[in-house]
């Protein structure tokens, strides 16, 4: 196994060097298949069982703006625990997420409460559907929602980056007026049909029928630098941008993450600066709800 991992790393390094020479000579990146791109990404992607990090976060939207610091602890595919503090360092909220449940304690003066339920409240707060796996992907810098077993992609070259564009269904083609093979990496997807025709297609479609996923990878390091999701069913558009990647004991981790969510109701942006990280130390996830806190059905 170790020999195979070392061989893959050598292949990634060779591919990166080859592309570096091509770019230095004014040539485009070498064409690669989706499987080749994903294999080279996987060779340096984060491998972890436990992860802790410090975050500085900024939130911007039409309804709310603010900044805070957070301590995050995670057990892979099991628990995400977050302690949120303002600049003075006094905890104002604590969040615990499991694959099927979300728990929140708010200690904000005049707004003290707790929430225990599913991800509906989290999705409402972000104004887009999201689950445990999505949030875990964002925090560890993995392409969000990437399903290696079931996703089918077309690969394209976009400057110094590779982009994987999801193969989509016939109904998506009817809505946007383009075949997936004709879709350029940065095309802005808009509805080409009149409203009545679009509604007829939408009535017959499942949510995933009208979802187009695009993932960008650096042409030298194969870091996953951007995801774009065009949800034509609900007219939601999500962009995740990652930068300042660092090499850790578990693989490559971004130092900065931005999540931009655009919906008919407005724009919501979260920016994360990743500070100190620690891998593969087992952590506790303390979460005791004070008896006097009222329970609410939303955040």
pLDDT tens by residue, 65-74: 899 999 999 9
pLDDT band at 142, cuts 50/70/90?
Answer: very high
294-296 and 111-117 as β-strands: parallel, antiparallel, unpaired? parallel
Give, rounded to a whole angstrom, the gap between the first and last alpha carbons of the chain: 46
pLDDT band for position 193 (50/70/90)? Answer: low
**pLDDT band at residue 237, thresholds of 50, 70 and 90?**
very high
C-beta of residue 9 within 8 angstroms of C-beta of residue 41: no
d(CA 226, CA 249): 23
With beta carbons less than 8 A apart as the criterion, state whether 136 and 82 touch. no
In eight-state DSSP terms, residue 208 is G
| Digit-coded pLDDT (tens) for 212-225 | 999 999 999 999 99
* Averaged pLDDT for residues 67-89: 93
What is residue 128's DSSP assignment? Answer: S
Domains of the chain, by residue range, sit at: 2-46+142-274, 50-55+66-140+281-296
- How far is the C-alpha of 108 from the C-alpha of 210, rounded, in Å? 40
Contact, 52 vs 23, CB < 8 A?
no
The DSSP 8-state label assigned to residue 89 in this structure reads -
Higher pLDDT, 44 or 197: 44
């Amino acid at each position: 196994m170790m020999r195979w991992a070392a061989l893959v790393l050598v292949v990634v390094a060779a591919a990166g060097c080859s592309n570096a020479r091509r770019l230095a000579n004014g040539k485009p990146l070498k064409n690669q298949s989706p499987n080749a791109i994903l294999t080279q990404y996987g060779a340096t992607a984060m491998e972890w069982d436990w992860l802790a990090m410090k975050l500085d976060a900024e939130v911007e939207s039409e309804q709310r703006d603010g900044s805070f610091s957070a301590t995050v602890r995670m057990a892979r595919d099991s628990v995400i625990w977050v302690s949120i503090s303002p600049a003075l360092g006094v905890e104002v909220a604590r969040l615990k997420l499991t694959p099927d449940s979300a728990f929140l304690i708010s200690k904000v003066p005049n707004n003290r409460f707790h929430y225990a339920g599913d991800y509906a409240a989290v999705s409402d707060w972000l104004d887009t559907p999201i689950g445990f796996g999505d949030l875990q992907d964002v925090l560890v810098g993995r392409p969000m929602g990437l399903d290696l077993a079931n996703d089918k992609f077309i690969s394209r070259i976009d400057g110094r980056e590779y982009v994987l564009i999801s193969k989509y269904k016939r109904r998506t083609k009817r809505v946007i007026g383009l075949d997936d093979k004709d879709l350029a990496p940065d095309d802005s997807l808009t509805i080409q049909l009149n409203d009545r025709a679009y509604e007829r297609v939408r009535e017959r479609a499942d949510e995933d029928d009208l979802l187009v996923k695009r993932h960008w990878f650096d042409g030298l390091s194969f870091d996953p630098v951007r995801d774009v999701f065009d949800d034509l069913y609900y007219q939601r558009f999500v962009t995740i941008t990652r930068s300042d990647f660092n090499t850790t004991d578990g693989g490559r981790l971004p130092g900065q993450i931005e999540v931009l969510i655009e919906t008919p109701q407005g724009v919501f942006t979260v920016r994360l600066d990743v500070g100190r990280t620690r891998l593969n130390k087992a952590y506790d996830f303390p979460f005791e709800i004070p008896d006097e806190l009222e329970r609410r059905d939303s955040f």
